[in-house]
């Protein structure tokens, strides 16, 4: 290759090795970050910090969750994703949170 000033740019052996290592690291990182998406996860419902129910993500369902004081949350599980479609709280932050489907995610 020819550089800006007419000098040849030569890739040395170490440059090629560094390039291949960086590409390999990028592939490994992408597999770690995006390869963990697995169907068959479980949704765990907690009310006041206590587990009240659990549901598999691979089975569509519609659940009404009653909370102390007369409150409710309407939980939907569809196509491997979980989300709330309604709640009686005024700010609706849990509904606005959107869909979750991966380990470690939380709606509230």
What pLDDT does residue 47 have? 87
Cβ neighbours of 101 (radius 10 Å): 17
Q: 28-64: b or e for each residue (b if 16 or more CB lie within 10 Å)?
A: eeeeeeeeeeeeebebebeeeeeeeeebebeeeeeee
Report residue 95 as tokens: 């509904």
What pLDDT does residue 10 have? 74
What pLDDT does residue 67 have? 86
| Contact predicate 66/52, CB 8 Å | no
Which domains are assigned to the chain? 1-35 (no CATH), 42-96 (2.60.320.10)
pLDDT along the chain (108 residues), means of 10: 61 86 90 66 89 92 91 93 93 92 85
Report residue 90 as tokens: 């005024």
């Amino acid at each position: 290759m020819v550089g800006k000033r007419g000098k040849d740019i030569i890739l040395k052996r170490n440059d090629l090795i560094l390039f291949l290592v960086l590409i390999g690291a990028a592939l490994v990182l992408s597999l770690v970050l995006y390869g963990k998406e697995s169907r068959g996860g479980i949704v765990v419902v907690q009310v006041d910090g206590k587990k009240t129910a659990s549901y598999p993500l691979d089975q569509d369902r519609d659940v009404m969750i009653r909370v102390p004081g007369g409150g409710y949350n309407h939980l939907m599980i569809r196509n491997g994703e979980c989300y709330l479609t309604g709640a009686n709280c005024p700010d609706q932050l849990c509904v606005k949170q959107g869909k979750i489907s991966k380990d470690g995610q939380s709606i509230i």
